Structure 1
Amino acid sequence: MKKEFLLASVLAWLDHDSRAQEATMRLLALFREKESRDELGIGAIRDSIADQLFPGTSTIQTRLRYMLFVPWLYQSLEEKRVPAKNFSRQADLLERKLLAYLRTSEDTSGAFGKHSGNNLKRLPSAVYWAGLGRWGIRKGETSQESYHQRIDEFYQQRQRIARKERHERDRGDDVDFDMWKSVDFWHPGLPSAPADFPEISSFSLTREEALFICDQIQLNCEGSLLAWLALNSNTVDVSQPWEHPDLLRCPPEIKELLHHARLFSEIVHVSALSYNLQLAEKKNNPSLIDAYQQRYAQWKASVPMDDIHSWDIPAFWQQVEKPGHTITFRTRLFIERLVQQIQHSPDSLIAGDGRKLIQQREMELKGVRSRFTNPRALDQWGGHAGTSRLIYRWNNARILLRDLWVGMGAQDDVES
């Protein structure tokens, strides 16, 4: 009963904090993704790097045009002056209607609900809400739930401004168009929805739409890899962001961040291999033991040890400790000891003292639920946990960038 009360209290608070709400939803989504569990408590560092490289993105975004679909749907409800008491329900119905059309379009890649259909629980509006704010397509820090609940206030404010504008015109006074800025929830330059939206919809951006989104990324994500690639590249056929062939031309600040990101990814990956190898040994599973030993050998053969030996750790902490991302003292200590172990001998994580460091970290985080001490928790281990390499949302970002580049290369009269 106590746990249920705490959970309800936290979720109620999140309704009024869009950034915290998105962070929590992203965490819940990660638990549903294969091999993405944060077993060693490095999520805050991972997310800080990802937010700097690809601001406004998440691991569950699929296609770029949802950044326009969502405001178009809401604008249509606002134009009909749907009241707050019905707004959430009408928004849900309209969004599901759009998704049904998208699932029958020629290009269904990235369509929400391809498998779950009408049973889909999390709609694109929730997935893209934080990104819409980060890219300046919606205004303010209002959470999605608060926007739904306060829509009547927006209507009333707009009515008052419209009356004042008519009064000024009747008197022959100059109209103060800046009055509308306080009640414009969406960017005034947002391209208009197609006339047949949402009945006929596709993921193909028109050139006008792509240029608008590109401008918003440049204005609101300056200095990020996302913004630089949007303007300076047209190829994303690599599995990790630091492998991108155009990065030789990118600013030194981005190169430095990618350098830290790559090295952090390397040490986290070998830590995960050590963790899973030790669990395989506890389970006495020869095939998994052999598999993780082979994966370690592959890692050791490719890891840039010279870069790890010369890694400027103070500069790394300065890079990742940004507002909104709290790195605890224990996490810092764990990472620094981990780097020291690898610098001394990477083999120690597989067959030496480094193994204890991994065990102690997991036990510290999980307590009685530790797989090292809890037989039931060990039985629930599926053979891998957190073993995929950190690439900081690159897979999602390159899909969004591909949509953007295709749109910017489209003709002005492309069917929308």
Structure 2
Amino acid sequence: METEFETITLQNLTKFVTDCFVAAAVPKNHSEIMAASLIESDLMGRNGQGLFMLEECVTDVLSGLIDTRAVPKIDKESSATAWVDGKNALGPVVANFCIKLAIQKAKRVGASIVVAKHSNPFGAASRYTKLALDEGLIGWACSNTSPYMVPNRAKYASIGTNPISVGAPGIFGDYFLLDMSTSVASPNRIALKGFSSEYLPLGYAINPSGLAETDSYIAAKYKNFLPLGSEEIHSNYKGTGLSLMMDILCGILGGSYYGTEVGIVGTDCVKRKANISHCFIIVDPKYFASGFEMRMTELMVHLRNLEPLDPDNCVRVPGDMTKDIGNKVKEWGGIRYPKFVIESMNKVAKFLRVKCVELIPKPTTIVLTPSEELAQRLEMEEKSRSMQKEEDASVSQDVPMDDEVSDKISLYSVYELDEDPSDWMLK
């Protein structure tokens, strides 16, 4: 319902989030990166990584387990590769450093891979592939995460829901932009459902007894999420394999934690440094067959024009939702948030002694009592009758008409006048 949402301008939102992190003793430049990460996640439809996570991010910062002033550094590099030490800095700070470095190297030699160690959760993976898209490059971003996913045939979680994002540019601003976790649904997406008291379909999560869990709140609490495919009969070994693939490219290749070793910062479970790894792969299509963008758009247009199974739901490609959200934000004048997210933001503001975020005022509506509504309706009916009487009186008056004009009018029918309107148009 409309009343369940509030709208905030991007300018007010950016200032508010930046102020919150500054108040939590995060340097101004790092606070701005954190604000961009959270807000852009919402702009791309990755609400589980957006402002919904502000309270948890601030909790992680205040836990003392993250070095908010740390600056990533390169430990080893070649013309096309780099191994980065994140120094336990904020995840988006490390990821920003790495993706810019990867883009720079790919432009110079055609392709690059940058792996970071000693980092923290970096937010929406698509935020970094979108930066590559803006440069006309193919981007890949992935990360390992806390062990919240149950591998194929296992009873409890022991690997991450490790996200993957791949982006490829088309022509005229079109693009392909995939962002997915290797689980049926990301943990934060399920946590959002928990706040909304939504029930989960079968196959999203299991409880500690190994049985299907449909209560989103309980599922978010125990964090035993199932891999893509859900059950072995539906190929959940594929989701398990994708998760392990991300761990190979991130934790194992980067010499950081992987699998059950990855820490869980700022929760009541295991309070230790996360030591998360990220991997960024960038390819410049100009170093390969010409016309890449044209062929990419040709493929996407073909898919969008396929006959849909449901006439009310056209075929989409990854990235289309991001474009739709951008149009909606322009229409609304800002981003819309449910009340529970606004309340969480205000809770953070109160704790940090920051001014609460400023909302776009809603149009005021006057609610009338039944008697006032009846009186207003009767008054309008009376005015309508008075106007009708005046009109009838003016029509009933005899208006003299010149005989010559009267004869001319009678000579022509409506059909004759409509036959050739070009005569008066040309005049």
TM range (shorter): under 0.3
Would you tell me which structure has more helix in proportion to its own residues? 1
- Structure number with the bigger relative contact order (C-alpha 8 A, sep ≥ 6) is 1
Would you tell me which structure has more strand in proportion to its own residues? 2
How does the TM-score come out when normalised to structure 2? 0.22
Q: Which structure has the bigger radius of gyration?
A: 2
How does the TM-score come out when normalised to structure 1? 0.23
